[in-house]
């Protein structure tokens, strides 16, 4: 089945202890679709400026990512700049220039409206709501958010939360959104806000799936060398939603495999700057890492 | 097979958001042996003062914990006081009164010298070395340490590290001891200091076993209610070493199961203050939680 993603297509300037890139390809929709394209075809809604280097997304078009709804507007492309500390766990945002993203109104082509799998990347919750309302209700709606919207636009966030199936957040966002210091009771409180399924990203500590009383833990892949964590969360989401769309099923069994595929794609993403690794990643590498996840968790 | 543990038997005063205890039973050897006693018989070397309430360890004696080498010295028992913050992740040590522990010289009865499984709890590395040297070389030597010894007595620590098989530490200790910001390359550096196997405790994020290129992740049990994290690490070690001694094997397969049993015992420990839960825990509860660990990690 197809996936629709709304999010950013951006140019990132990133500095880590391992190097530095300027105006490199980035954005939540870009990372997401690069990962999801290993599993199914992906359709993007986003906006870029006249300065956007379209040749840089050619590799995605070749992998069945459809950019019919990538609008080019007068002005500059959304730019983000950040710097990571020595162990890559803390980052400082140096600048966020929304540019053409500022008054982004996501217009859906007719052939996008009945796409069954929808991913609402981390953008203003009112924009997320707008996209959802302009579609026939998809089979599965998955959403990301962040502390900026939890603190800044709580009412908007609560409106969209009521309408989605799966929320993907990190552990501190669970605690902030639920106002609970315990991750597990916090997740339960968020389930009462709408999404029946919560996916909790724990970075170097793995990921956790919560559905009813059911917990599933995916470990993080043991990487000795990371270059750039930017986009890891969106790449994780791309592997997760891409796999669900491919098998067209979100039973507990499929959700678990999807969490592993999300973790795998995320682990490749951080190995190199920008989308460098996601550009050349092979299906064989993905499946090899899947076997390694089995090896890392088997004890019975 | 039997286990020998050298460590502290102490009285702890602990305050958490969920309550407060004064002079409650504590100490690394106590928590360790309470956990290990679910798997095999345990022999303790430790020292207490004349004020020690011996009736409080009666339940351990009934579970095949042998206190032949628990020496009572004139003076007061080792006391520790600590306070945990709202989410139980940070703790402040309020006081550490070594008392009789200060000039503790671990004397081994002859029938302790050929015990095959040895656990050196978190005490001065010179004391750990003394115990090891006074024994016939055990079949397996497992050791705990902490940042205090890593920073304060690095040469002593390096001497004992050369002689042991398994080191149990937490993730920040791996980074501090190896002087490496990456957990995985850090663990490799520690392996070159002596121990072939590293067990990394990650608290609420689970635990990791490293042997050669081989990684195994155990999740943490999803607890909605914790009362007191004191002793969780020693209890984890007790489940881990206790299981290995029970099956008298430390193949990769047994190490993995041992890590799960360690995690299970640790998860019960934190549910109540002091050893309250370890006092009443049943084998059935342990095995039920083992099944839940299988359920939480199965995806294939």
Q: Can you tell me the mean pLDDT for B255-271?
A: 98
Nearest to B171 by CA among B184, B152, B158: B184
Q: Which two tokens stand for residue A12?
A: 């990132």
CB contact A129 to B (< 8 Å): no
Element (H, E) at A124: none
Q: Do B182 and A225 touch (CB under 8 A)?
A: yes
Do A184 and B224 count as a contact with CB atoms less than 8 A apart?
A: yes
**pLDDT at A213 (0 to 100):** 78
Strand partners, A81: A13, A95
Confidence of residue A300 (pLDDT cuts 50, 70, 90): confident
Judged by CB atoms closer than 8 Å, whether chains meet at B206 and A205 is answered as: yes
Average pLDDT, whole number, for chain B? 96
Choose among B172, B167, B165, B164: nearest CA to B147.
Answer: B172
Closest residue on chain A to B261 (Cα): A299
The pLDDT value recorded for residue A162 is: 98
Q: Is the ipTM of this complex over 0.90?
A: yes
Partner residue opposite A205 with nearest CB, options B202, B226, B294: B202
pLDDT tens-digit readout, A208-217: 999 987 999 9
Residues 157..196 of A with a Cβ closer than 8 Å to B: which?
175, 181-185, 188
Minimum distance, in Å, between the CA of residue A250 and any CA atom of chain B: 13
The Cα B127–Cα B6 span in angstroms is: 9
- Residues B79-91 have pLDDT tens digits of 999 999 887 878 8
| Average of per-residue pLDDT across A131-159 | 97
* Contact B213/A at CB under 8 A: no
Q: Does B202 touch chain A (CB under 8 A)?
A: yes
Distance CA B121, CA B149 (A): 12
Q: List all residues 6 or more positions away from A224 whose beta carbon is below 8 Å from its beta carbon.
A: B182, B184, B185
Q: Shortest CB distance from A222 goes to which of B215, B224, B260?
A: B215
| Minimum distance, in Å, between the CA of residue B210 and any CA atom of chain A | 10
The share of chain B scoring above pLDDT 90, in percent, equals 95
pLDDT score for A88 = 83
Average pLDDT over residues B263-270: 98
Average pLDDT in chain A: 96
Residue of A nearest to B184 (CA): A224
Q: Report which of A116, A98, A110 is spatially closest to residue A46, judged by C-alpha positions.
A: A98
Q: Is residue A87's pLDDT more than 80?
A: no
**Residue B216: its chain A contacts at CB < 8 A?**
296-297, 299
Query: Residue B55 above 90 pLDDT?
Result: yes
| pLDDT tens-place string over residues A2-22 | 999 999 999 999 999 999 999
* Region B235-241 average pLDDT: 98
Q: Which of B210, B297, B298 should one mutate to test binding to chain A, selecting the residue with the greatest count of A CBs within 10 A?
A: B297
Considering only the beta carbons, identify the residue of A182, A217, A225 that sits closest to B296: A217
Determine the pLDDT at residue A86. Answer: 80
pLDDT at A115 over 80: yes
Whether B204 contacts chain A with CB within 8 A:
yes
Q: Is B296 on the interface with A (CB under 8 A)?
A: yes
Residues of chain B above pLDDT 70, percent: 100
- Tell me which residue in A219, A224, A259 faces B217 most closely, judged by beta carbons: A219
B15-25 per-position pLDDT tens digit: 999 999 999 99
Calculate mean pLDDT across residues B224-251: 97
Nearest CB to B86 within list A181, A224, A256: A181
Q: Is the pLDDT of residue B143 over 80?
A: yes
Sort out which chain A residues have CB atoms less than 8 A from B251's CB and list them. none
Mutate to test the interface with A, among B90, B187, B217 (most CBs of A within 10 A): B217
Residue B212 has pLDDT above 90, yes or no: no
Nearest to A222 among B184, B205, B299 (CB): B184
Q: A224 and B185 in contact by Cβ < 8 A?
A: yes
pLDDT in tens, B89-138: 788 999 999 999 999 999 999 999 999 999 999 999 999 999 999 999 99
- pLDDT class for A250, splitting at 50, 70, 90? very high
- Rounded to a whole number of angstroms, the CA Rg of chain B reads 18
CB-based contact, A259 to chain B, within 8 Å? yes
Give pLDDT, residue B57.
97
B219 touches chain A (CB under 8 A): yes
Q: Does A251 touch chain B (CB under 8 A)?
A: no
Per-residue model confidence as pLDDT tens digits over A44-58: 999 999 999 999 999
Q: Which pLDDT score, from 0 to 100, does residue A90 have?
A: 84
Residue A205 in contact with partner chain B when CB distance is under 8 A: yes
Which residues does chain A have within 8 Å of residue B296's beta carbon, measured at their own beta carbons?
A: 215-217
Determine contact: B251 vs chain A, CB below 8 A.
Answer: no
Inter-residue contact A120 to A144 (CB < 8 Å) = yes
CB contact under 8 A, B299 and A257: yes
- How high is the pLDDT of residue A71? 96
Q: What pLDDT, on the 0 to 100 scale, is given for residue B89?
A: 79
Q: Are strands B79-84 and B10-16 parallel, antiparallel or unpaired?
A: parallel
| Closest approach of B276 to chain A, Cα-based (Å) | 22
Contact A224 B257 (CB under 8 A): no
Residue numbers in B near A300 (CB within 8 A): 257, 294
Using CA coordinates, name the residue in chain A closest to B219: A217
pLDDT (mean) for A18-34: 97
What's the mean pLDDT in B255-262?
98
Residue in chain B closest to A216 (alpha carbons) equals B296
Best of A191, A299, A300 to mutate (most B CBs within 10 Å, chain B) = A299
Report how far apart, in Å, the C-alpha atoms of A236 and of each of A202, A224, A271, A278 are: 11, 19, 14, 12
Alpha helices in chain B (DSSP H): 28-36, 58-61, 125-133, 147-152, 154-161, 171-178, 183-191, 232-247, 252-269, 276-280, 283-297
Section A210-239 average pLDDT: 95
DSSP labels, B50-93: TT--GGGGHHHHTTTEEEEEEEEESSPPPEEEEEE-TTSS-EEE
pLDDT at A237: 98
Give SS3 for B265: helix
Residues A149 and A157: their CA atoms lie apart, in Å, by 7
């Amino acid at each position: 089945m197809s996936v629709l993603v709304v999010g950013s297509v951006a140019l990132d300037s990133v500095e880590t202890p391992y190097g530095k890139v300027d105006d490199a390809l980035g954005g939540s929709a870009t990372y997401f679709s690069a990962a999801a394209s290993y599993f199914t075809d992906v359709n993007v809604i986003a906006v870029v400026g006249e300065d956007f280097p379209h040749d840089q997304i050619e590799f995605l078009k070749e992998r069945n990512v459809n950019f019919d709804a990538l609008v080019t507007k007068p002005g500059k492309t959304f730019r983000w700049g950040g710097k990571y500390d020595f162990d890559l766990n803390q980052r400082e945002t140096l600048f966020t220039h929304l540019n053409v993203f500022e008054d982004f109104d996501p217009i859906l082509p007719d052939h996008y409206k009945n796409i069954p799998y929808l991913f609402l990347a981390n953008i203003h919750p009112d924009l997320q709501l707008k996209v959802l309302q302009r579609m026939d209700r998809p089979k599965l709606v998955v959403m990301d958010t962040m502390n900026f919207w939890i603190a800044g636009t709580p009412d908007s966030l609560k409106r969209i939360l009521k309408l989605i199936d799966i929320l993907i957040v990190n552990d501190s966002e669970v605690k902030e959104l639920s106002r609970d210091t315990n991750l597990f009771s916090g997740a339960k409180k968020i389930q009462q806000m709408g999404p029946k399924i919560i996916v909790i990203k724990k970075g170097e500590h793995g990921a956790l799936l919560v559905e009813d009383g059911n917990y599933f833990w995916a470990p993080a892949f043991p990487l000795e060398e990371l270059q750039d964590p930017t986009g890891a969360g969106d790449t994780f989401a791309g592997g997760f939603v891409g796999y669900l769309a491919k098998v067209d099923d979100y039973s507990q069994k499929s959700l678990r495999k999807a969490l592993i595929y999300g973790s795998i794609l995320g682990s490749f993403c951080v190995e190199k700057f920008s989308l460098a690794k996601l550009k050349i990643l092979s299906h064989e590498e993905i499946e090899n890492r899947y076997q390694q996840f089995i090896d890392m968790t088997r004890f019975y």
